[in-house]
Amino acid sequence: MSETTESTAGDRRSDFPRFRPATPPPVFGEFVETMRHLQDLTVAVDAPADVYATALAQAQALVETLEPYDAPEGRGPAGRVMDLPGRGSLLMPPWRVEKFDADGVRARGELRRYHLGGGGVAHGGVLPLLFDDNFGMVVYAARRPISRTAYLHVDYRKVTPLNTPLVIEGAVQSVDGRKTLIRSKLMDEDGTLLAEGEGLMVALLPGQP
């Protein structure tokens, strides 16, 4: 079982929950990667009816296996396993953080078939997710107060390829009271700029969720 949330479901600045990193059984990482592969296949396969029927029955059996263990936010390990790609969350693309300090945050990974938009490249809506996650980590690494995204802007410079090593890095640009302005870049490994993101993160007041 993974670790539970902190007893103070927030800090003195807000009621936003802060969760401890989880330490699930080693098999959890393989489980998450298998589920990612299943996501890729779900949007990729073109199968006959009997194959879909077999897969449906197996998926329903998997739901029955897992459903008794449905847990509240912060109890399940997904999103709290820092050494797994995407922190073990299926919501996040499977990227690994390789730099995390007050000067900025850099992560590296790929987008997969699940993230296909059309024409063999990533869906444009996936990139704001990448940038928003980067903004949140930059705020935390810079030791700024817990904040929520007030503004997020993405400039698309080139199409973003699938199954290609990519890098995202961001840093604090300015601070004004509760406001933290962050700028980030998404690039391929050769440094070709694919997209730029700007986010305004606003620190929560006491009692704000």
CA 183, 181, 171, 96 dihedral sign is negative
What per-residue confidence (pLDDT) applies to 206? 87
Separation between Cα atoms, residue 121 and residue 145, nearest integer Å: 36
Same domain membership, residue 32 and residue 11: yes
What per-residue confidence (pLDDT) applies to 208? 84
The residue among 65, 86, 107 that closes a domain is 86
CB neighbourhood size of 188 (10 A): 15
- 10 versus 119: which is more confidently predicted? 119
- 13 versus 174: which is more confidently predicted? 174
208 within a domain of the structure (yes/no):
no
Same domain membership, residue 97 and residue 51: no
What's the whole-number average pLDDT of the chain? 91
Same domain membership, residue 107 and residue 131: yes
Which residues have C-beta within 8 Å of that of residue 124, sequence separation ≥ 6?
A: 117, 156
> DSSP code of 159?
P
Query: In the chain, what percentage of residues exceed pLDDT 70?
Result: 91
Same domain membership, residue 143 and residue 77: no
Same domain membership, residue 188 and residue 100: yes
Q: Number of structural domains, the chain? A: 2
Confidence of residue 34 (pLDDT cuts 50, 70, 90): very high
- The predicted-structure confidence for 138-187, as pLDDT tens digits, reads as follows 999 999 999 999 999 999 999 999 999 999 999 999 999 999 999 999 99
CB neighbourhood size of 113 (10 A): 14
124 within a domain of the structure (yes/no):
yes
182 within a domain of the structure (yes/no):
yes
DSSP string for 21-42 = PP---THHHHHHHHHHHHHHHH
The enclosing domain of 181 has a CATH number of 3.10.129.10
Same domain membership, residue 7 and residue 60: yes
What per-residue confidence (pLDDT) applies to 15? 64
209 within a domain of the structure (yes/no):
no
Q: Which domain holds residue 33?
A: 1-86
The residue among 86, 103, 135 that closes a domain is 86
Separation between Cα atoms, residue 111 and residue 116, nearest integer Å: 8
Cβ–Cβ under 8 Å, residues 108 and 95 = yes
Same domain membership, residue 107 and residue 173: yes
Q: What is the average per-residue pLDDT within 92-108?
A: 96
**What is the value of pTM for the model shown?**
0.88
Cβ–Cβ under 8 Å, residues 20 and 35 = no
The residue among 54, 86, 118 that closes a domain is 86
Checking if the pLDDT of 14 tops 90, the result is no
Same domain membership, residue 69 and residue 140: no
Query: In the chain, what percentage of residues exceed pLDDT 90?
Result: 87
Same domain membership, residue 102 and residue 66: no
Same domain membership, residue 70 and residue 135: no
- 48 versus 1: which is more confidently predicted? 48
What per-residue confidence (pLDDT) applies to 209? 81
Separation between Cα atoms, residue 193 and residue 158, nearest integer Å: 7
